[in-house]
Amino acid sequence: MRNKYRLLSLLMILLTCAIAGIFFGSFDRRIETVYGDNTRDAIFEVKKTFLQHTVQNQIARIDASEKRHTNLALRRVGEMNGILNAAPSGSRDEFIAFFRECFRDGTAWTAVLWDPVAGNVLHDPKGLFRKGFPGTPDGGEFGDFSAWKIGDFRGLRAFFGVPGTAVEEAVKGEIASEIHLSRFPFDSYIWVNEVVNYEGGKNYAIRRIHPNLRDTEGIFLSTETRDVKGNRPYLTELEGVKKDGKLFFTYHFKRKNSDEISEKLTYAELYGKYDWIVAMGIHLDDIFTAILKANEESGTASGRLIVLFLLLMVALLGVSELVLLFLEGKFHGESRKGLEDELNRDPLSGAFSRRAGETEMARAFHSFTKGALPPAIALFDIDHFKEVNDSFGHDAGDEVIKLIVRTVLGSVRTMDSLFRWGGDEFLLLAEGLKAEHALPVAENIVKTVAEHPASVDGQSIPVTISVGIAFFRPGDRGYEDAMKRADKALYRSKSEGRNRATMEP
């Protein structure tokens, strides 16, 4: 009888364990499903935010480049006006020859010289006066110019200006180079299509910039093109930007650096000034890999909990559930934190990204409006960086950028923050640094950078930076006002010979 009860007890224990195991297994599968769904949704949202912010940051850099080149055109026109006014004394023919020599670069300049009294055209290589003299000369009568001037010199009248196409081509070339040099995780990249016909159809757009298909840049695109699943991604993209100016969509496309075709999540936004559709995508199987890894790790933890639960039987069910939920929340939080940290770091230099910088600047300005002391804002870029890329290659340029970041971080306090603002431009935010100490600190950074040349393939490359410093002021409407002053101070550092720091008073 004792053995009978013992056997019955054993059977009851086994039955209890089996029922509890089935219940717990079913419950665990439900938890895993919910966890998988939440993880998938969270990863999708983080990746979508990453794509959108990266594209919008690129568009902001296009605007900044266009503004910079327009200001350069204005400065060049002003300098040329001074050159003409200071032309060597001599005969009229000598001045005409001097004028022609000044504007021999027909790509960068458009220039006309005429005698307003005699009505003679003395220099007009582009035939602007073929339709006769304008009644009141005006830049708009000659065409689209980013900067121009009409003036009288030695009894003659001249028009000269920088064509808008020259500025546009300079901006497009700079942005194309920047995009080709950009590196992103998960085989991601930015590309640009230029719309020539918003009605769509054959030859509706030109593939302007495409790091994955550089040999096809310049070809025409068609909204009739289909992917391997029969979708028409170019039509979807065009209709989306026409309707809302931006969109998320999916289609199938080859991976970067391989011929594998897979589904891709893409964000595209229209930059209307150039009719550019700026886009960026990530292959969905990369996202699914991250989800699968998260689910596998979750499954491993759950299996261990099930074994433990069966050993301790039903009494430990509640504890096991709490442990599972704790691990789930911890893993979910760490996954999100890791993805957000990836978005806030510049992958090349290791400095914080512009997105993180804009967030910190907004926070610092808010604190300033609440009575906090203004932080020092130091905007700097690398002197003659384009020459480094042209002379030593873009890999050398990347090494210079990384060296600058290491050197600057080694010269400032651990509480200071360094952001890569774009290209070779950086922002240093130093909270608690007083105005009387800001310039000496910046000058020390400039000196330290100059003392540490880059070394590429055994060759030493001199490296210097120019710095502009500013602080928030009571009348500022946002941190952008201080950034403009820092940019102005940076320009002064450049104008006064580079390799120096200037503080905006």
Whose tokens are 């910088």? That residue is 357
Residues 313 and 427 placed together within one structural domain of the fold: no
Helix, strand or coil, per DSSP, at residue 247? strand
Cα-only R_g, the chain: 32
| 306 neighbors 21 (Cβ within 8 angstroms) | yes
| 453 neighbors 460 (Cβ within 8 angstroms) | yes
CA dihedral (474, 475, 476, 482) positive or negative: negative
Condensed to tens digits (0 to 9), the pLDDT of residues 438-486 reads 999 999 999 999 999 998 888 889 999 999 999 999 999 999 999 999 9
Residues 382 and 482 placed together within one structural domain of the fold: yes
Residues 368 and 481 placed together within one structural domain of the fold: yes
What is the 8-class DSSP label of residue 352? B
Helices (H) and strands (E) in the chain, counts: 12, 17
Condensed to tens digits (0 to 9), the pLDDT of residues 54-66 reads 999 999 999 999 9
Give the whole-angstrom CA distance, residue 141 versus residue 216: 38
- Which residues contact residue 63 at a Cβ distance below 8 angstroms, ignoring those fewer than 6 apart? none
pLDDT of residue 127: 82
Structural domain range at position 320: 2-54+287-343
Region of 485 please: left (phi>0), alpha (psi -120 to 50) or beta.
alpha
Pairwise pLDDT comparison (468 vs 106), residue with the higher score: 468
Lowest mean pLDDT among 39-43, 47-51, 190-194: 39-43
The order of strands in the sheet holding 246-254 is 220-221, 205-209, 189-195, 276-283, 261-271, 246-254
pLDDT of residue 135: 43
The CATH number linked to 461 is 3.30.70.270
CA 167 to chain centroid, in Å, comes to: 20
Give the whole-angstrom CA distance, residue 449 versus residue 463: 7
Counting the structural domains of the chain, the total is 2
End of a domain among 343, 363, 380?
343
Residue 210, in any domain of the structure:
no
Residue 459, in any domain of the structure:
yes
> Is a pLDDT exceeding 50 seen at residue 136?
no
Q: Which residues pair with 379 in a beta bridge?
A: 427, 468
**How many CB atoms neighbour CB 39 within 10 A?**
22
Residue 162, in any domain of the structure:
no
Residues 417 and 495 placed together within one structural domain of the fold: yes
Residue 308, in any domain of the structure:
yes
**pLDDT range class, residue 25, cuts 50, 70, 90:** low
Give the whole-angstrom CA distance, residue 310 versus residue 296: 21
Residues 372 and 320 placed together within one structural domain of the fold: no
Integer angstrom CA distances of residue 490 from 71, 481, 495: 14, 14, 9
Residues 325 and 412 placed together within one structural domain of the fold: no
Please tell me the number of Cα atoms within 13 Å of 60 on its side-chain side.
12
> Is a pLDDT exceeding 80 seen at residue 274?
yes
Give the whole-angstrom CA distance, residue 449 versus residue 404: 7
Residues 329 and 423 placed together within one structural domain of the fold: no
Residues 367 and 471 placed together within one structural domain of the fold: yes
Please tell me the number of Cα atoms within 13 Å of 405 on its side-chain side.
24
- From the list 166, 161, 168, the residue with the least C-alpha distance to 103 is 161
What's the first-to-final CA gap in the chain, in angstroms? 100
**pLDDT range class, residue 191, cuts 50, 70, 90:** very high
Helix, strand or coil, per DSSP, at residue 471? coil
pLDDT of residue 481: 96
Q: Which residues pair with 112 in a beta bridge?
A: 159
Whose tokens are 């050993």? That residue is 311
Length of the chain measured in residues: 505
pLDDT of residue 137: 47
Concatenated DSSP letters of 114-160 = EETTTTEEEE-TT-TTTT---SS--HHHH--EEEEEEEEETTEEEEE
Residues 311 and 408 placed together within one structural domain of the fold: no
Residue 50, in any domain of the structure:
yes
Q: What is the reported pTM?
A: 0.50
Q: How, if at all, do strands 145-153 and 156-163 pair?
A: antiparallel
Give the whole-angstrom CA distance, residue 385 versus residue 389: 7
Residues 471 and 417 placed together within one structural domain of the fold: yes
Residue 186, in any domain of the structure:
no
Residue 11, in any domain of the structure:
yes
Residues 388 and 334 placed together within one structural domain of the fold: no
Helix, strand or coil, per DSSP, at residue 275? coil
**pLDDT range class, residue 324, cuts 50, 70, 90:** very low
Residue 278, in any domain of the structure:
no
Question: Span 233-247, mean pLDDT?
Answer: 95
- Which residues contact residue 221 at a Cβ distance below 8 angstroms, ignoring those fewer than 6 apart? 193, 203, 204, 205, 206, 207, 234
Residues 420 and 498 placed together within one structural domain of the fold: yes
The order of strands in the sheet holding 465-470 is 417-422, 425-430, 376-382, 465-470, 501-503
